[in-house]
Amino acid sequence: MGNLEAMKPFPDSEEMEISFGPQHPATHGVLRVMVKLDGERIVDAKPVIGYLHRGTEKIFERETYNGAIPHTDRMDYTAAATNNQGLVGAVEKMMGITVPPRAAYIRMILAELQRIASHTIWLGTHALDIGAQSPFFYTFEEREKILDLYEEYCGARLTLNAMRVGGQPYDLPEGWSGRCRTFIDQFPARIAEWERLLTTNRIWKLRTVGVGVISAENAVEWGLTGPPLRGSGVKWDIRKVFPYDHYDDIDFEIPIGGNGDTYDRYLVRMEEMRQSVRIVQQCLARLPEGPVMAKVPKVIKPPKGELYFSVEGPKGELGYYVVSEGGANPYRLHVRPACFINLQALPEMVRGQLVADLIAVIGTLDIVLGEIDR
Amino acid sequence: MANPWVAFLLVPLVKIVVILGVVILLAAYLSFFERKILAYMQIRIGPNRVGPRGWLQPIADALKLFVKEDILPSRAEKLVYMLGPVLVTAPALVVFSVIPFGTGFTLFGAQVTPYLTDVNIGILFILGVSSVGVYGIILGGWASNNKFSLMGGLRSAAQLVSYEVPMGFSVVAVLLMANSLSLVKIVEAQKSAGVWFVFPGLVAFFIYFVCGVAETNRNPFDLPEAESELVAGFHTEYSGMKFAFYFLAEYANMIVISSIATVLFLGGWLPPFPSWLAGVWASPVFTWIPPVIWNAGWFVVKVFAFLFVYIWFRGTFPRYRFDQLMALGWKVFIPVSLVNLVAVALGVLLIGGPR
């Protein structure tokens, strides 16, 4: 992909090769896209990745299972809670630990708040990429409130490290659920505000409807998950199809789109935020009393074997493939990152469209380079 | 005024210095107002560190740009690269020579007009001179030897050329109503007609203003410098004072477009409803104000109303895509402005314009 041959200019053709990134205002970190342009039209686009590679999966191998959790925070750094949830879920499943119900509900609250926080970043930056500046500030205001809740719970705002194998490290602080409810109750009004600014905006629709279209068949073949898959009309959500924690007790809908374009993915994510609000409300109402930590050995040693476990992250299916030799460290811990696999469809989605659409599509895929490069 | 040296050299020179000083200062402070207004729209505070409530921020910005390193890309076309900012700034400032800020008044026993000159082809002069600005953008974009700059320059050339056509047509509609090309005469025609041209020329006004937004490369038409797509478009490679000139030109152009809109459609220095409310404006509540302040005050108020709308746009709209922008220009504005032109011409013929 990134070899020198591919980067050579084409002196004989009228096409222009241009390198978007890794330092570019709209590539969401250090993504680099080698774009071949015919005027403003995209002939081909190749994502070049690896600028943020830290060897996370190799680091996992020398960490204990609980020690690996902080490293998951740093993969998709906009969604630390769901990253934690996937890893602890995998190890618990391997060891056959049942998490106390209170801990599971706290996890669901944290994860859904994280989904909202991640989607607010997505909306802000996506709108900014398309040229609307103000939503960025409105969405970040709401995200701050979520981060305040996190800070109160576990002391961290971004890299939470908020879950442990067997349960939760802390119970909810005094009055936390009340403050969480205050936030959750006012949040749908804010979504409506953002939608008033964008959903029926002529320019917004011009820029998103019919842009970056991917059909349901193609989306499945590319292995897309999360909103990019649901935007194409495939009703697939890990929380429904392989429920974990207590998602099967909760009543919520899976929003889907029909056309598989940027606008549908936008609508899907907006609706997902509303559904997350519903889930948090139900979790807060049902929050059982009791311990937050199951009886687990001091040193986590899953039995010899291998296992794949995935959760529905804000960006898509986030899977952990754990291979254990029975020791305190994983023999191999592979991550199935949602962003990495979603990003692969980028060339397919932008070919033949305009430069401005490339930016819109990068935004709508909602990628985080920390997770792509790991 | 017997001495020709005074009449033809000293007075114009003083006027030039005053107008240039005011316009440049205003352009600098426009960036401050923009940042402040945008900040309040976006639940932020905006610049508030330099001077009381941040009022010295534009001065600090200018000083900073002044002492910044002036980078010349190694493979840039040097002469053209340096010519770019000049070509874009000079026309933006020259245009102010024909914009009338008020009626003549008496100072030290001499008759003085608060504008540099009243050319009888004023509006043609403006259209002609301001078109030169596009050279600065496209040459600067090309000479930088940067693909992003080149694309920004090309976009800008296409955009400015296509939006100048409907803009010209909407100006012609006003000319038909005013029966003159002189900006002073156009304002006086609105006075004698007793109505601002915005009411009979609503369509022309709308087209003029939207095209003006496109001409100045502002949201939602800011494609030539679309940050998220082209980094900074045509001025990606510019730094220091060269960048400052592009910046100054952009804001000066906003003031130009707003000033022309004020003159053509909002009665220039006239107070609102000059004939209906003539009694109100002649009452002692207002007459103590010196006429030059009174006229210039109304002018500035109207210009700032336009500038506020500019900033409001920026706080609200997403950006058009290049092909959509072209489609809007060629398929909507040009036909509509042509039809409007015919309609206005018929109206002037049947109802009768000002004579």
Test B318 with A132 for CB contact under 8 angstroms: yes
> In this complex, which of B38, B147, B229 lies closest to A356 when CB atoms are compared?
B229
What distance in Å separates the CA atoms of residue A120 and residue A303, rounded to the nearest whole number?
A: 40
**Domain match, A255 and A273 both:** yes
Q: How confident is the model at residue B223 (pLDDT cuts 50, 70, 90)?
A: confident
A354 touches chain B (CB under 8 A): yes
Give the contacts of B342 (CB within 8 A, at least 6 positions apart): none
**Domain match, A230 and A338 both:** yes
pLDDT above 70 for A284: yes
Strands (E), chain A: 16-20, 32-38, 41-48, 305-312, 317-324, 332-336
Test A207 with B318 for CB contact under 8 angstroms: yes
Test B322 with A18 for CB contact under 8 angstroms: no
Mutation target among B317, B322, B323, B328 for the A interface, most CBs of A within 10 A: B317
**Domain match, A38 and A67 both:** no
pLDDT above 70 for B78: yes
B40 touches chain A (CB under 8 A): no
**Domain match, A275 and A358 both:** yes
Q: Which of A83-87, B50-54, B69-73 has the highest mean pLDDT?
A: A83-87
pLDDT above 70 for B2: no
- Kindly state the average pLDDT of the residues B61-66: 86
Residue with the larger pLDDT of the pair A161 and B218:
A161
Collapse the DSSP code of B274 into the 3-class scheme (helix H, G, I; strand E, B; otherwise coil) and give the result. Answer: coil
**Domain match, A21 and A100 both:** no
Task: Find the farthest-apart pair of alpha carbons in chain A and give their distance in angstroms, rounded.
Answer: 72
Mutation target among B228, B231, B236, B324 for the A interface, most CBs of A within 10 A: B228
- Kindly state the average pLDDT of the residues A150-155: 90
B78 touches chain A (CB under 8 A): no
Give me the phi and psi of A199, to 5 degrees please.
-55, -45
Residue A224 CB-density burial (10 A; 0-12 exposed, 13-18 middle, 19+ buried): buried
Q: How confident is the model at residue A117 (pLDDT cuts 50, 70, 90)?
A: very high
What would the two tokens of residue A93 be?
């499943």
Count of CB atoms situated within 10 Å of the CB of B59: 15
DSSP 8-state secondary structure symbol assigned to residue B320: P
B57-61, B73-77, B137-141, B331-335 — which is least confidently predicted? B73-77
B220 touches chain A (CB under 8 A): yes
Note the pLDDT of residue B345: 84
* C-beta of residue B295 within 8 angstroms of C-beta of residue B102: yes
Residue ranges of A 87-106 with Cβ closer than 8 A to chain B: none
CA distances from A267 to A25, A69, A259 (A): 24, 32, 11
DSSP 8-state secondary structure symbol assigned to residue A354: B
Residue with the larger pLDDT of the pair A344 and B122:
A344
Mean residue pLDDT across chain A: 86
Note the pLDDT of residue A119: 92
Question: At which of A48, A66, A83 does a domain end?
Answer: A48
Q: Report if residue B331 sits inside a domain.
A: yes
A130 touches chain B (CB under 8 A): yes
* C-beta of residue B253 within 8 angstroms of C-beta of residue B215: yes
Name the residue among A308, A84, A94, A283 with its Cα closest to residue A180: A283
CATH number at residue A188: 1.10.645.10
DSSP 8-state secondary structure symbol assigned to residue A172: P
Structurally, how many domains does chain B consist of?
1
**Domain match, A213 and A69 both:** yes
Q: How many CB pairs under 8 A join A and B?
A: 83
Tell me the shortest Cα–Cα distance from A141 to chain B, in angstroms: 9
Test B317 with A129 for CB contact under 8 angstroms: no
Residue ranges of A 258-317 with Cβ closer than 8 A to chain B: none
Note the pLDDT of residue B218: 80
Name the residue among A371, A318, A368 with its Cα closest to residue A125: A368
What would the two tokens of residue B196 be?
């601002």
- Kindly state the average pLDDT of the residues B26-50: 87
Test B42 with A134 for CB contact under 8 angstroms: yes
Residue type at position A117: A
Give the contacts of B207 (CB within 8 A, at least 6 positions apart): B166, B167, B169, B170, B333, B336, B337, B340
Tell me the shortest Cα–Cα distance from A134 to chain B, in angstroms: 6
**Domain match, A333 and A215 both:** yes
Chain centroid, CA B93 distance in Å? 10
Note the pLDDT of residue A147: 92
Note the pLDDT of residue A7: 46
Name the residue among A294, A293, A296, A279 with its Cα closest to residue A171: A293
Count of CB atoms situated within 10 Å of the CB of B345: 15
- Kindly state the average pLDDT of the residues A172-199: 89
Note the pLDDT of residue B105: 66
Q: Report if residue B10 sits inside a domain.
A: no
Strands (E), chain B: 105-107, 110-112
pLDDT above 60 for A64: yes
pLDDT above 80 for B104: no
Cα angle, residue B329 at apex, residues B327 and B334 outer, rounded to 5°: 120
Q: Write the DSSP assignment of A204-237 as a string of letters.
A: HHHHHTTSS---HHHHHHTT--SHHHHHTT----
Residue ranges of B 299-318 with Cβ closer than 8 A to chain A: 314-318
Q: How confident is the model at residue A277 (pLDDT cuts 50, 70, 90)?
A: very high
Structural domain boundaries, residue B302: 68-352
B147 touches chain A (CB under 8 A): yes
B185 touches chain A (CB under 8 A): no
**Domain match, A22 and A68 both:** no
**pLDDT (tens digit per residue) in A2-43:** 444 454 444 555 677 888 878 777 777 788 888 888 777 888
Name the pTM for this structure. 0.83
Mutation target among A19, A36, A136, A137 for the B interface, most CBs of B within 10 A: A137
> In this complex, which of B43, B228, B321 lies closest to A141 when CB atoms are compared?
B43
Q: Report if residue B26 sits inside a domain.
A: no
**pLDDT (tens digit per residue) in A325-369:** 888 888 989 999 888 898 888 888 888 888 888 888 888 888 888
- Kindly state the average pLDDT of the residues A180-189: 91
pLDDT above 80 for B234: no
**pLDDT (tens digit per residue) in A65-102:** 888 899 998 888 888 899 999 999 999 988 888 889 99
Find the closest chain B residue to A23 by CA distance.
Answer: B231
Name the residue among B17, B170, B212, B206 with its Cα closest to residue B97: B17
Count of CB atoms situated within 10 Å of the CB of B178: 25
Q: Report if residue B61 sits inside a domain.
A: no
Share of chain B residues as helix, strand and coil, in percent rounded to the nearest 5: 70, 0, 25
Structurally, how many domains does chain A consist of?
2
B chain contacts of residue A125, beta-carbon cutoff 8 Å = none
Residue ranges of A 20-79 with Cβ closer than 8 A to chain B: 24-26, 40
Tell me the shortest Cα–Cα distance from A24 to chain B, in angstroms: 7
Matching residue, tokens 């040693």: A301
**pLDDT (tens digit per residue) in B283-317:** 776 667 777 777 778 888 888 888 899 888 888 88
B chain contacts of residue A130, beta-carbon cutoff 8 Å = 228, 318-319
**Domain match, A156 and A65 both:** yes
pLDDT above 80 for A209: yes
Note the pLDDT of residue B275: 67
Q: Report if residue B265 sits inside a domain.
A: yes
Tell me the shortest Cα–Cα distance from A124 to chain B, in angstroms: 12
B38 touches chain A (CB under 8 A): yes
What distance in Å separates the CA atoms of residue B105 and residue B110, rounded to the nearest whole number?
A: 8
Give me the phi and psi of B230, to 5 degrees please.
-110, 30
Collapse the DSSP code of B90 into the 3-class scheme (helix H, G, I; strand E, B; otherwise coil) and give the result. Answer: helix
Note the pLDDT of residue A320: 92
What distance in Å separates the CA atoms of residue B39 and residue B33, rounded to the nearest whole number?
A: 9
Q: How confident is the model at residue A52 (pLDDT cuts 50, 70, 90)?
A: confident
Note the pLDDT of residue A116: 92
Residue type at position B348: V
DSSP 8-state secondary structure symbol assigned to residue A1: -
pLDDT above 70 for B353: no
**Domain match, A35 and A145 both:** no
Roughly how many angstroms between the first and final C-alpha of chain A, as a whole number? 18
What would the two tokens of residue A109 be?
């609250």
Whether omega before A22 lies within 30 degrees of 0, making that bond cis, reads: yes
pLDDT above 50 for A1: no
Structural domain boundaries, residue A11: 4-48
